[in-house]
Amino acid sequence: MNTSLLPSSASLLAFATLWLIVLNLLVRFSRLPTGLRNNALLAVAAVLLLLVPVGGLPVWRWLFSLYPNPCLPMLGVLVAQHGPRFLGLRLFAETDWNATWRFGAVVGTVVFLHPVLLGGVDFYYWGWNVNLAAWLIAAVAITFLALGNHFGLLLAGSLVVFLMGGLESKNGWDYVIDPIFWIASLVSVTRRDLFPAMVKAVRRGPSAQPHADGSLR
C-alpha cells in the first residue's frame, strides 16, 4: 500500500463522515438489533471495511479522492441519524430536520448551479473571504440558535472548523454545503415538503370540490 492507512488532519473529517456513511449502510442492511455488543461490532466493521486495500489503496482513500471536503452539516446529519441507536438520544426534532434539509436544498442550489444559471455572478468567490464567509455562517447560525433550532449548532460547528481550517478546502462554502448533502437535501425536501404539497393540491382539485349543497361530485 503506497499511501498512509490512517487519515491526516486534513482528511480526518472526511474519514469520520465516510465511516458514518458506511455505518449507516451496515445498520440498514444488517438489521442487527440494538445493543452494545452489536453496535460495537457494526462500528468496528465499518472501520475495517474502509481500510480494505483495493488496487493498493485503502477503500477510504478511493472515496476521499472523490469526496475530499464533506461539509459539517453532513457529518452532523449522520451523527443525528445514529443518535437514537448509538447514543440513546434523539438529537434532532422534526423542525431541526426540516431546517437542515431546506438549508441544504437552497444553499446547495445557489452554490452549485450559479455558474450555469447566473453566468456573471461568482458566489463561490465569497467563500474565500474569511471575514464575509464567517459572518455569513455566524449570522445564519445565530438565527437558527435564536429560534432554538438544533441546526444552528451544526452551523456553529461549521464555523469553528472553518476557522481552524479543518478541511482540505479553505473556502467557507465547503464547510456548510457539499454535493452529497445537497442531493440528500433535495431528495428530502421533495419527499417531505414538495410531494405532500402536490398530493394535497391534487386532493383539493375540482373533483373534490363540494357542490353548493355541500355534497361531493
Partner 1 sequence: MNPSTPETPTHVSAGRCSGRLAPRHRLALIVGLVAVCTFMSLSAARRDSEAPTELERIARTNSATPPRDSLPFFEQSWVSPSGHTPSAHCSTIATLPSGDLLALWYGGTREGAADVALYTSRLPKGGTVWSSPVEVIDREAAEQELDRRIKKVGNTVIFPDEVGNLWMVFSTVSVGGWSGSALNIKSSRDEGRTWGESQRLTLNHFLNLSSLVRNKPIYAEDGRVGLPVYHEMATKFPQILWFRPGPGGTVEDYKVRSLSSASGLIQPSLVSLGGDRVLMILRDGTGQHAVHTALSEDNGWTWTEARAGNLPNPNAAMDAVRLDDGRILLVYNHSTDVRENLSLAISADEGQTWEHRVVLEEEADREFSYPQVTKAEDGLIHITYTWRRERIRHVAFNTAWLDREPGRRIAAHP
CB under 8 Å to 178, separation ≥6 — which residues?
Answer: 67, 69, 70, 71, 74
User: In the bound complex, what is the minimum distance in angstroms from residue 93's beta carbon to partner 1?
Assistant: 4
**CA atoms within a 13 Å half-sphere pointing along the CA-CB vector of 100:** 27
Under rule CB under 8 A, which residues in 10-39 are in contact with partner 1?
11
Smallest CA-to-CA distance from 136 within 123, 121, 122 is with 123
Q: Tell me: does residue 152 bind partner 1 (CB under 8 A).
A: yes
Which residues pair with residue 54 across a beta bridge?
57
* Residues 29-88, interacting with partner 1 (CB under 8 A): 55, 57, 61-62, 64-69, 84, 88
The nearest distance, CB 13 to partner 1, in angstroms, is 13
d(CA 18, CA 178): 14
Q: Which stretch binds partner 1 (CB under 8 A): 18-26, 45-53, 117-125, 204-212?
A: 117-125
Q: Which residue has the cell 474502509?
A: 50
> Within 10 Å of residue 11's Cβ, how many Cβ atoms?
19
Which three-class secondary structure state does DSSP give residue 53? strand
Stretch near partner 1 under the rule CB under 8 A, chosen from 21-29, 43-51, 109-117, 204-212:
109-117
Question: For residues 63 and 60, what is the distance between their CA atoms, to the nearest angstrom?
Answer: 5
For partner 1, the closer CB: 84 or 204? 84
Tell me which residues touch partner 1 (CB under 8 A): 2-4, 8, 11, 55, 57, 61-62, 64-69, 84, 88-93, 111-112, 115-116, 119-120, 122, 124-125, 127-131, 134-135, 138, 141-142, 145-146, 148-150, 152-153, 156, 159-160, 163, 167-171, 173-174, 178-179
